Structure 1
Amino acid sequence: MHPDWVRSIRDQCAAAGVPFLVKQWGDWLPWEPEYDPCWKSQNGKSEDQHVLFPSDIDNDPKWDDGLSFINEGQEHAVFQKVGKKVAGRLLDGVLHNEYPTTGDIR
């Protein structure tokens, strides 16, 4: 998921006084140069690359079997697979760990 989507939800929750939680990023993080991820295509080929841009994916069918990853007029974010443990739960360096109250449940 794009980090800007999560930032928008965080800001909307803050404006509405609603608790906000980032549960996890999954296996993927926005690309950072300190990681050296291995990319695996849908057809099972692995390559070691520092970054994989959407245009690289669209121009090389081994990555997507012909599916387009580029939508005109939209910003793109490059992600890398680092694993859930490394990806963690931080958004912009902050742990958002708020839970809504459940009230009186019977």
Structure 2
Amino acid sequence: MPTITFVDHRGVRRDIEIAEGHSLMEGARDAGIDAIAADCGGACACATCHVYIDDAWQARVSPRDSMEEEMLDFAAAQTDSRSRLACQITINASHNGLTVHTPETQG
């Protein structure tokens, strides 16, 4: 299983394993990452799983689609080019070592 590192807004790091085929949001929720609210359960309908993809990983994560782009407008924290919804990233073996940063708030 790929290991993903979550870094919260204070810089606290936590490594979790997420099974291939699951979304980044599902793995975070199941591991109890408090910074991921996931209110809609992964339907790309709430923006409460907003994360920032670490700069080193930008090119290795699939790009945002138009639905995700629109939903990011509703994110509580400021968004930028690193912003993604964790429910829209499906984990595979190439994501081993992925680092994502969580915002201070999701709502």
TM-score, structure 1 as length reference = 0.29
TM-score, structure 2 as length reference: 0.29
- The higher-RCO structure (CA 8 Å, 6+ apart) is 2
User: In terms of Rg, which structure is larger?
Assistant: 1
